[in-house]
Amino acid sequence: MGATKRVAEQIVLNAGGAALRLGNVLSSRGSASEVFASQIAAGVPLTITDAAASRYFLTLDEAVNLLLFAALELPTLLAPVLPKPHRVEDLARFMARELAPDRAIPIRLTGLRAGDRLTEQFWSAEETATPTKATGLLTIQSPLPTSANLQGALLRLRDALIARDVASALSELRGLVPDYTPSATLLSLVSRSDSGVNA
């Protein structure tokens, strides 16, 4: 999970809402299936990060049903109970066969980017998951900042962004999401900013 998505979870939970961590929702905007479909239509190679990369996939109907169940569990952090993950390459090959049976479409490995993982996890080592009364959902117990600490950090983060102070913004983000590991590119930008070099 990205750091900004984790902060969004904290905001929703502190406001008394429910947050649901979903897998890759097929046919949703930006999903792997949509990317592959557009690549097949364009006649370009299908791109995946790693041959061993795997993800949990849900249909739109499944995602909507889970969201409706989650609405009954306010306020809490939830994740779906899903069967085993599937290899992204298997999805790419399946879609190539179905959408372009008369063409051989190559697959190009792009390599994992900073923050990418081979497998998908719905909770971290600092979190615990327990079944809920709602079918197919788990409640995740996750450490959260107090409302006052969250509001203070968000105000400081906003001020840092307005001032284009990358180092301070990153510091606030890491304070809210301690297990966040910034990319080498971002750390380089902070280093350049600290040394007075124009980014």
Please, what is the average pLDDT of the chain? Answer: 90
Structural contact between residues 55 and 24, judged by C-beta atoms closer than 8 angstroms: yes
Tell me the pTM.
0.80
What whole-number distance in Å separates Cα of residue 142 and Cα of residue 112?
27
Tens of pLDDT along 134-167? 778 999 999 999 999 999 999 999 999 999 998 9
Beta bridge partners of 20: 78
Beta bridge partners of 107: 46
Q: Would you place residue 168 in the very low, low, confident or very high pLDDT band (cuts 50, 70, 90)? A: very high
So what's the pLDDT on residue 26?
93
Q: Would you place residue 199 in the very low, low, confident or very high pLDDT band (cuts 50, 70, 90)? A: very low
- Give me the helix-helix angle, 32-42 and 88-99, nearest 10°: 40
3-class SS at 95? helix
Tens of pLDDT along 68-114? 988 888 789 999 998 889 999 999 999 999 999 999 999 999 998 87
Domain with CATH 3.90.25.30 in the chain: 17-141
The two beta strands, 19-20 and 128-131, are: unpaired
What whole-number distance in Å separates Cα of residue 199 and Cα of residue 197?
6
**Domain range 17-141, CATH class:** alpha beta
